[in-house]
Structure formats: C-alpha cells, structure tokens
Amino acid sequence: MVGFSDKGAVVYADDSVLSASQALSERLAWPLVALSELPAELLQGCFLCYRDGCLKLLDKQTLKKGGLIVEIDPRPGEQHSYPAPKKDLLAQAIGKKTKTVLDATTGWAQDSLALFRMGYEVQCIERSPVMAELIQDGFSRLAQKEWVLNRQLQPPRLLVGNAIELLAGLSEAPECIYLDPMFPPKRKQTAATRKSMAILRDILGDDLDRADLFAAAWQAAAKRVVVKSPDYAEPLGGKPSESYQGKLLRYDVYLK
C-alpha cells in the first residue's frame, strides 16, 4: 500500500468501484484504501469515494453514510422547465440577453448549473483538483439526465487550473465572466452556513489572490464581469456599474 499523504485518501467499499477508484487515486496522487481497512490515524482527513452512483466527498462522520456531491437537480423553489426563467438576482446580474458565461470559480457548481438550466452557454474553471473531480462527476451525471439527452444539450466544459492563467489563453472571449471567490468569514460560521461551503473553506482556505483574478477576468471578458460577494466585503473591482443586493450577499456587475 502507498504511504498516506496528509491531504486525503480515496476509499472504496467493494470491488465494483475498484478500477474507477484506482484511476482517481492515481490522478490525484492520493492513497487508495479499502473502507474496511481504514486506519484510525487517517480519520481526521477527507476522503473521496464512489458510492450510490456518484463521487462523494466524505469526512469521518459521513464515512459510512452520506457525504457531499455536486447536486445537479434544480434548487428548492426553482422551476423544473428548461430553460428555467431568468428571474433571480444571479440572472439579473449576468444579464438576460447574455449568451456565454464563464464561471471562473466553479466550486460546487451550483451557480454554473443554475445558469446552465436557465439556458446560458456555460464554461467552467476550477483550480482544486479534488473539486474538479467532483464537478466532472456531476457533469457526467447531468449528461445522462433525460431532459439533457432529449434536448441534446452538452454539459458545461470544465477547465482545470488557475483561472488567472487560463483566462489569458481563451480562444474566444465569453460575454460574461462570473467570479465567486472565497472571502474570509466576518461572522462566526453558524449552523446555517451550508456544510458544503464550510468544508470547501476547510480544504481550500480563502482565495487570497482574488484581486488578481478580477484583473484577469476584466481583461478576458467581452462585455461584463460579475462578482458575488458577502454583503460586508468591499467591492472587488472598485465601484461597480450595478449591484444586486440579496439577503447576505451581493452581485457586483462591472460593464466594459
């Protein structure tokens, strides 16, 4: 067995997922461990595991049951028709007439997927290789959905790497570049903080290079850059052209 890295491990429960787990462990350079043989000293870390037909991010509480996945179904309250109506603050900030959007900070892909369901042409960038695996798994499941197959839709394309570098090499400028980097929390994180976001912060930390990311997005976008921020944060790119204020967050829009 390979030595354990301090980052995490790929665990598998049975042989039906062994070869996919092996390939994943090689891609991430994470050790591969059978669930039944997981040593106690590893329990503080995080794990990736193929279970129930999807790739899950686990910790010690969710090792046997549960876990986090890229959710591909509409959010509560969202209409199930395609394209879903462009009526929320996100759509207003992106622009109802905008066609192409690049999400440079994909994370759990919830914003990307909401935009995809609204009919935008979405491209994604994510620099964390672990998140990229989870996103790619979500997009593969999306490709198998009946409503996607019936309409011959292609799930968003995912580029893996630092957007600050990748944005400079795009062959075509997207009309809108969307940014939702991690800001340091102001309030103590409460139970209301979504677990998926709290875990993301634990694994990845804050995105300290977000000012450089904004500069790269401003260069690369054809028409606008949209930044999602917590309500207490200073606007990332100086005074925005427009702002859409939600309950605890804000979308700042910078028009070119």
Q: Catalog residues that contact ligand SAM under the rule CB under 6 A.
A: 104-105, 107-111, 125-128, 131, 162-164, 180-182, 200, 204, 207, 213
Nearest distance, CB of residue 36 and ligand SAM, angstroms? 31
- In 3D space, the residue among 155, 172, 180 whose CA is nearest the CA of residue 251 turns out to be 180
Nearest distance, CB of residue 131 and ligand SAM, angstroms? 5
The strands making up 46-51's β-sheet, listed across from edge to edge, are: 32-34, 8-12, 46-51, 54-58
- DSSP-based helix, strand, coil % in the chain, nearest 5: 30, 20, 45
Nearest distance, CB of residue 252 and ligand SAM, angstroms? 14
Q: Which residue is nearest to ligand SAM (CB)?
A: 107
CB atoms closer than 10 angstroms to residue 35: 15
- Burial class for 142, CB neighbours closer than 10 Å (0-12, 13-18, 19+): buried
- In 3D space, the residue among 25, 24, 66, 31 whose CA is nearest the CA of residue 45 turns out to be 31
**Closest to ligand SAM by CB, 14 or 165:** 165
- In 3D space, the residue among 217, 230, 127 whose CA is nearest the CA of residue 185 turns out to be 230
**Closest to ligand SAM by CB, 33 or 164:** 164
**Closest to ligand SAM by CB, 38 or 204:** 204
Nearest distance, CB of residue 41 and ligand SAM, angstroms? 27
**Closest to ligand SAM by CB, 12 or 126:** 126
Distance CA 151, CA 164 (A): 33
Nearest distance, CB of residue 138 and ligand SAM, angstroms? 10
**Closest to ligand SAM by CB, 204 or 233:** 204
**Closest to ligand SAM by CB, 58 or 131:** 131
Amino acid at residue number 20: A
Q: What is the DSSP string of 111-152?
A: HHHHHHHTT-EEEEEE--HHHHHHHHHHHHHHHTSHHHHHTT
Contact 254, 225 (CB under 8 A): yes
Nearest distance, CB of residue 52 and ligand SAM, angstroms? 21
**Closest to ligand SAM by CB, 67 or 107:** 107
Nearest distance, CB of residue 109 and ligand SAM, angstroms? 6
Distance CA 89, CA 73 (A): 19
